[in-house]
Amino acid sequence: MRVAWRASLEMGPLAEEFNVGVVGAGYVGLVTGACLAYVGHRVTCVDKDEGRVAELKEGRMPIYEPGLEDLVVQNSRRGRLSFSTDIAGTVHEADVLFVAVDTPQGDDGSADLSSVAAVARSIGRALAERPGAGRAQRERPLVVVNKSTVPVGSGDYVSMLIQEGASESSSGNGAVDYRVVSSPEFLREGSAVYDSFFPNRIVLGADKRDALDTMRALYEPFIEQTFPTQVDPRPKVAVPFVTTDLASAEMIKYAANAFLATKISFINEIATICELVGADVSSVAHGIGLDDRIGSRFLSAGIGWGGSCFPKDVAALRSIAREYDHEPVLLDASVAVNERQRKRVVSKLQRDLHTLKGKRVALLGLAFKPNTDDLREAPSLEIARALDQRGARAVGYDPVAGKKAAGLLPNLRVVFDPYEALSGAHAAVVVTEWEEIRTLDLQRIAALMESPKLLVDGRNAYDPRAVRDSGLLYRGFGRE
Ligand code: UDX
């Protein structure tokens, strides 16, 4: 990936500079806060986790994300980015307050809003106690921006909880002035910083004009692309700023993720049919992707989608639909195809190894995708458990996520060298297509592995002919 920014570059003066608070220093909060600080706003990231805040103050990142550390360290040094556990103090200072806390998947698939609700109440209490809280004394209302992915209608719920929090306050007069807006996040893990600087679009849902104006001014450097970068000299084209009502903005996030997940499931369904009829899914994807109504991205077949967003958001959208007695058959099918892809890894292993009992299987890559240490809903977890149930001896390797995986899967032997994982293995599965894994020395692998030297390429990352020429048995997805 291109280096798209240089945190040491100094930004010119901003037309309008804001005090920004960000509640939740996770992937979304931290990246949002650091990028807003880079373009010149004054940002405080708040988190209830004291350890995390202490680490961030020392410039240590709680997550692995390319480019993030540099941004955080440089902007902390410039005094534009700080970290705190004090939500009330941050609310008192802020013009704009982002909420970027977890909305994990509940048991029934719906999004669990308890963190968002707790934060909203605290905002309400702090607002009521804020100096100059009354409408007359304040220049403009606090804009509370929801970045967490929440069910449609949550904007109103958050607003209600802020009001409730304010009326609970003992020292304030309960009169608070605020707006709730929705600004869904589309960044991808592994390229979160890049995506924040160069979004395809910025979506904003609000029911009041003044909140839209504030957000337009805050995002101005991103919309007009006026921050200094060292990107290849691409023309500065304004980023579309899509404004809509709250419910539609919330729906845009779910619809985008559900569409992308379904696009992957679609190509995976086609891949299985390709195997049956003797076609090659890579050629098929190329051929259909050139139709610009379809587009070539997100058409890589393999073991399917995982991560912190797609599974959770598709589950939440299904749950929302069912709440209204609507059967979301297409979304159900998308999930079913995805679950089947993991199982197909096991059947591909069984096809050539027959019984898996006692067989050594190397899992190459454990993170849910390259360039992240995130294991949430990673296919590796399910595959490792399935192998364990069948008595196989699985050995895992990942350039970054190995330690985390060892903690989650006590029965998986994790090693820190890919060739060690492959040594004596009857089969290997490419689970995550890290650059390091795509470019392993095939001759060396063939010399290390035991017969039948099977390579199940879960990401169609290798050239089948090159693998076969090195003496390995190749099985991809949709390209037998
Ligand atoms: C996704 C969305 O892309 C992002 O806009 C949203 O904000 C959060 O969810 P992320 O989860 O970081 O981002 O990962 P992404 O790169 O989109 O990949 C999602 C999953 O799909 C991964 O498991 C990946 O391996 C898989 N995938 C992706 C495929 O199997 N085939 C593809 O062609 C593309």
Rounded Cα–Cα distance for residues 329 and 347 (Å): 26
Q: Considering the chain, what is the average pLDDT of its residues?
A: 92
Tell me the CA–centroid distance for residue 174 and ligand 1, in Å.
43
Structural domain includes residue 300: no
How much of the chain, in percent, has pLDDT values that exceed 90? Answer: 81
Which residues make beta-bridge pairs with 181?
A: 145
pLDDT (mean) for 73-85: 96
Residue-wise pLDDT tens digits, 240-287: 999 999 999 999 999 999 999 999 999 999 999 999 999 999 999 999
pLDDT (mean) for 162-179: 82
Q: Select from 194, 209, 244 the last residue of a domain.
A: 244
Tell me the CA–centroid distance for residue 195 and ligand 1, in Å.
13
Q: Select from 212, 229, 244 the last residue of a domain.
A: 244
What pLDDT shows up at residue 137?
A: 46
CB 400 within 8 A of CB 65: no
What pLDDT shows up at residue 174?
A: 63
What are the helix (H) ranges across 3-150? Answer: 27-38, 50-57, 68-77, 87-93, 114-129
The band of 330, judged by pLDDT with boundaries at 50, 70 and 90, is: very high
Ligand 1: atom nearest CA of 378 is 23
Q: How many separate domains does the chain show?
A: 2
What pLDDT shows up at residue 138?
A: 54
What pLDDT shows up at residue 231?
A: 54
Q: Are 219 and 366 within one domain?
A: no
Q: Which residue has the higher pLDDT, 129 or 228?
A: 129
For ligand 1, atom 9, which residue shows the shortest CA distance?
309
What sign results for the dihedral spanned by CA atoms 247, 253, 259, 265?
negative
Structural domain includes residue 139: yes
For ligand 1, atom 22, which residue shows the shortest CA distance?
305
Give the β-pairing of 178-182 and 81-84: unpaired
Q: Are 230 and 342 within one domain?
A: no
For ligand 1, atom 7, which residue shows the shortest CA distance?
186
Structural domain includes residue 284: no
Ligand 1 pocket mutation pick from 103, 369, 380 by most atoms within 8 angstroms of CB:
369
What pLDDT shows up at residue 467?
A: 98
Q: Are 222 and 100 within one domain?
A: yes
Q: Are 164 and 30 within one domain?
A: yes
- Boundaries of domain holding 426: 310-475
Tell me the CA–centroid distance for residue 264 and ligand 1, in Å.
9
Ligand 1: atom nearest CA of 190 is 12
Q: Select from 217, 244, 271 the last residue of a domain.
A: 244
Q: Are 134 and 33 within one domain?
A: yes
For 280, how many CA atoms within 13 A lie in the half-sphere containing its CB?
7
Q: Are 191 and 72 within one domain?
A: yes
For ligand 1, atom 34, which residue shows the shortest CA distance?
298
Angle between helical axes of 246-277 and 310-323 (0-180°, round to 10) = 110
Structural domain includes residue 446: yes
For ligand 1, atom 19, which residue shows the shortest CA distance?
305
Tell me the CA–centroid distance for residue 305 and ligand 1, in Å.
7
Q: Are 72 and 176 within one domain?
A: yes
Instruction: Note if 35 is an active site residue.
Output: no
Q: Strand, coil or helix: what is 126?
A: helix
Rounded Cα–Cα distance for residues 352 and 73 (Å): 51
How much of the chain, in percent, has pLDDT values that exceed 70? Answer: 94
Structural domain includes residue 328: yes
Highest mean pLDDT among 62-66, 165-169, 258-262, 368-372 belongs to 258-262
Catalytic residue among 35, 45, 274, 309: 309
The band of 15, judged by pLDDT with boundaries at 50, 70 and 90, is: confident
Q: Are 318 and 227 within one domain?
A: no
Q: Are 355 and 445 within one domain?
A: yes
Ligand 1: atom nearest CA of 298 is 33
Q: Are 138 and 219 within one domain?
A: yes
What pLDDT shows up at residue 1?
A: 44
Assign residue 339 the CATH number of its domain: 3.40.50.720
Here the tokens at position 69 are: 């550390």
Ligand 1: atom nearest CA of 186 is 7
Q: Are 68 and 211 within one domain?
A: yes
Residues near ligand 1 with C-beta < 6 Å?
185-189, 257, 260, 264, 298-300, 302, 304-307, 309-310, 368-369
Residue-wise pLDDT tens digits, 110-164: 989 999 999 999 999 999 987 765 444 457 899 999 998 888 888 999 999 999 9
What pLDDT shows up at residue 3?
A: 46
Structural domain includes residue 336: yes
Neighbouring residues of 204: CB distance < 8 A, sequence distance ≥ 6: 181, 182, 183, 212, 215, 216, 241, 242, 243, 244, 249
Q: Are 236 and 346 within one domain?
A: no
What are the helix (H) ranges across 130-245? Answer: 154-168, 192-197, 209-224
Q: What Cα–Cα distance (Å) separates residue 120 from each residue in 48, 146, 180, 271?
A: 14, 10, 10, 45
Ligand 1 pocket mutation pick from 188, 338, 372 by most atoms within 8 angstroms of CB:
188
Ligand 1 pocket mutation pick from 310, 376, 432 by most atoms within 8 angstroms of CB:
310
Rounded Cα–Cα distance for residues 68 and 209 (Å): 33
What pLDDT shows up at residue 134?
A: 46
What pLDDT shows up at residue 234?
A: 58
For ligand 1, atom 28, which residue shows the shortest CA distance?
298
Structural domain includes residue 9: no
Structural domain includes residue 256: no
Q: Give which of 16, 15, 17, 37 is closest to 25, Cα–Cα.
A: 37
